[in-house]
Amino acid sequence: MDGANHKTEKSQRFFNLAKEVTPGGVHSPVRAFLSVGGCPRFIDHGEGPYLIDVDGNRYLDFCCSWGPLILGHADPDVVAAVKAQVERGMTYGASTELEYELAQFIVSRIEAVEKIRFVSSGTEAVMSAVRLARGFTGRDLILKFDGCYHGHSDHLLVKAGSGLATLGQPSSAGVPEAITQNTALLPLDDEEALQKMFANHGDQLAAVVIEGIPANNGLLIQRHDYMRSLRALTEKHGTLLILDEVITGFRVGFGGAAEYYGISPDLITYGKIIGGGMPVGAFGGRADVMDTVSPQGPVYQAGTLSGNPVAMVAGLTTLKKLSSDNVYAELENRNRRFVSNITSRLANSAVTIAGVASIFWIVFQRDLPRAASSIDSDGIAHYNRMHEMMLTAGMYLPPSGYEVCFLSTVHTDDILDKAAETIAGIIGEEAHQ
């Protein structure tokens, strides 16, 4: 995994061609490597913990498709299940036993999920959960937090406004201000601001939406107390708590962040792992709330490919493997060992590696932030500069310092022990620049 033969000619050629037919050459913006520079690698195939690009370079993959691949690439059981299903047809647009099985598997194991509905992405899951919360409560206002990502539906593309305004401003062109005026925004980890928001607007709030453990803008691990008061406040004001577990669901333990904090949300949204690498999302929760969804209730929600049988079988096979005894304890141990292997080689340098379950985040600052505003942008610049060095050393990290890294069950201690040395070397070099 040394950088001696590292070539990017083919990736460069494909990237140039792609730019002619696709905006920025990519189908999701961060893949264009704009923050880290360098050429986005075009992938030929994945193999366990490795990615192999079109130039034949092999990388240890710490991006894991942004979270879904908790079993690594092309897990043999998932592949076999998918193959068997594909031969029976890709989609029927009608009900199947498979979608019942996956729904039942989840409902019987996740306490807060009494009923569930499948969609095709995390964005769709949160968008539908927000509509459902508004329909159920008869209220319009929702609250989200600065530093949490919930997909790209209009109501959730907000950033902090100027001055004292707590209402969000559109964070993207094309989102009307009239829409974001129903989305209030608060910083994370600010109990006082939360209390004040509920004192003033609690009875107008349909829902609070928060990431289980915010992991889309750094890894902003929240205090248990804070999450518990959020639960208590929402309960008191008849506001639904939507825990967005698109990353944390089946990642931070089978029970996700709800279990991690010991809270019971009204609604949970899933994505990523739940589809075992296929495009799936889901929203679920209290039966009385879920029964407001059409055709049972008046909140409209639908999808041509929802409950797609190939995706259902990939998800079901993945979740079954994850529900066996020691998977999460083992993943957590490996992550802890890996992170401490790196940090022990970085004595005195101003780098922190935050780890939780099988997620880690490398941040070039001494203290771990809990709110978006505490992230040091100079530190992010350090990360971005070292990214290409990591690639040439065979380490595929996500192409932005705000993104977190993931381990899978096939990232073994042996592989990680060697990687720790390489990664620590590069971080150490960068930290002294």
Ligand X SMILES: *Cc1c(COP(=O)(O)O)cnc(C)c1O
Interface residues with ligand X (CB under 6 A) are 121-123, 126, 149-151, 211, 216, 244, 246-247, 271, 281
Residue number with CB closer to ligand X (202 or 281): 281
Place of tokens 């929702």: 142
Annotated catalytic residue within 50, 59, 272, 396? 272
Nearer to ligand X, 216 or 384 (CB): 216
Phi then psi for residue 147, to 5 deg, are 100, -5
| C-alpha dist (Å) from residue 50 to 58, 167, 359, 410 | 7, 43, 17, 9
| Nearest distance, CB of residue 9 and ligand X, angstroms | 30
* Distance between CA atoms of residues 43 and 132, nearest Å: 38
We find the least distance from the C-beta atom of residue 282 to ligand X, in angstroms, to be 11
266 catalytic, yes or no?
no
Supply 400's token pair: 């932005």
> Which C-beta is closer to ligand X: that of 312 or that of 423?
312
Asked if 272 is an active-site residue, the reply is yes
The nearer residue to ligand X, 268 or 424, going by C-beta atoms, is 268
Structure tokens at 54: 């079109």
CB of 348 to ligand X, least distance (A): 33
Q: Which residue is nearest to ligand X (CB)?
A: 122
Q: How far is the CB of 17 from ligand X (least distance, A)?
A: 25
Q: Which is nearer to ligand X, 75 or 211 (CB)?
A: 211
Sign of CA dihedral 370, 376, 382, 383: positive
Residue position matching structure tokens 């004595």: 347
Q: 96: which residues sit within 8 A by CB, 6+ positions away?
A: 307, 309, 312
* Annotated catalytic residue, options 146, 244, 383, 396: 244
Rounded CA-CA distance 184/179 in Å is 11
Q: Helix, strand or coil for residue 206? A: strand
> 55, 61, 75, 149: which one is catalytic?
149
Neighbouring-strand partners of residue 45:
52
Alpha helices (H) in 269-324, listed in sequence order: 287-290, 309-322
Would you say 134 or 150 has its CB closer to ligand X?
Answer: 150
CA dist 273 and 281 (Å) reads: 9
User: Which of 371, 402, 376 has the alpha carbon at shortest distance from 189?
Assistant: 371
CB 123 to ligand X: min, Å: 3
Nearest residue to 403 (alpha-carbon basis) of 149, 49, 156, 189: 149
> What is the C-alpha separation between 313 and 86, in angstroms, rounded?
10
Q: Is 244 one of the annotated active-site residues of the chain?
A: yes
Output the smallest distance, CB 13 to ligand X, in A.
28
Residue placing its CB nearer to ligand X in the complex, 28 or 324? 28
With vertex at residue 33, the alpha carbon angle to CA 30 and CA 34, rounded to the nearest 5 degrees, is 90
Minimum separation from the CB atom of position 315 to ligand X (A):
13
Contact 259, 253 (CB under 8 A): yes
Task: Give 244's Cβ-side CA count (13 Å radius).
Answer: 27
| Residues marked as catalytic | 149, 244, 272
